[in-house]
Chains A and B, each alone.
Chain A
Amino acid sequence: AQKVTQTQTSISVMEKTTVTMDCVYETQDSSYFLFWYKQTASGEIVFLIRQDSYKKENATVGHYSLNFQKPKSSIGLIITATQIEDSAVYFCAMREGDNYAQGLTFGLGTRVSVFP
């Protein structure tokens, strides 16, 4: 069974600094996909970035990057040069294998507050 754990409940940072969020996952599959989403204050859920398990290189999109440590089953999210609008709840999620239909398993989320 798959499981996603985010141990940090909330993080506060100053604007223009870097924030790092942790996520560890459990899976029996050798092939899996990892995602990060953010949920804004309005409730909207926005896809940010993904990492496919077979790729060794850490994914990077804009000011989001991942720290993928496969031996530790860890997929951390790094946001550089944070902005006030990065304040949100960040969810880590996973899908196992090649089953296109399978839904994502989400972590509990980490609330990030960015202060000026």
Chain B
Amino acid sequence: GPKVLQIPSHQIIDMGQMVTLNCDPVSNHLYFYWYKQILGQQMEFLVNFYNGKVMEKSKLFKDQFSVERPDGSYFTLKIQPTALEDSAVYFCASSPGLVSQNTLYFGAGTRLSVL
């Protein structure tokens, strides 16, 4: 199926530092998403992004979080500053955005470890 790429696969940083997670969505997809999964739990929606704007965000999307996709490059999730509770696997997803094709396709995730 369609592939979403996430870079890096694992990131270790000290609490308080900034981190940027990168996502290369499927090329013709229009909607982009970030999800957070704490070990052993379900994935939880953070935010979605369309046409250069945040469309919807959950209460997990703290003020320290931001997303952007400058000039069609990587779709990024930035956390500044990081906190211990930000340790999780972050999954990027994209979808074509059509009702008939609104399936989300996920990347392999970036494991973020905040020390």
Contacts and interface: CB of A to CB of B under 8 A. Distances in A.
B41 interface: yes
A24 to B, nearest CB: 15
Interface residues of B, number: 28
A59 B97 CA distance: 21
B42 A108 contact: yes
A50 B58 CA distance: 24
Contacts, number: 61
Interface of B: 1, 31, 33, 35, 41-45, 48, 50, 55-56, 58, 89, 91, 95, 97-99, 102-106, 108-109, 111
- Categorize the interface residue count of chain A: 20 to 34
B45 A104 contact: yes
A105 B45 contact: yes
Interface of A: 33, 35, 37, 42-47, 50, 91, 95, 98, 100-109
A37 B89 contact: no
B99 A100 contact: yes
Mostly, the B contact residues are strand
Contact of A101 (B1, B35, B50, B58): B50
A44 B3 CA distance: 11
Contacts of A35: 103-104
A40 to B, nearest CB: 9
B99 A98 contact: yes
A43 B55 contact: no
Given A100-B98, A101-B48, A101-B56, 15 more contacts: A35-B103, A43-B109, A44-B108, A45-B108, A47-B103, A47-B104, A50-B103, A91-B43, A100-B99, A103-B35, A103-B45, A105-B45, A106-B44, A107-B42, A108-B41
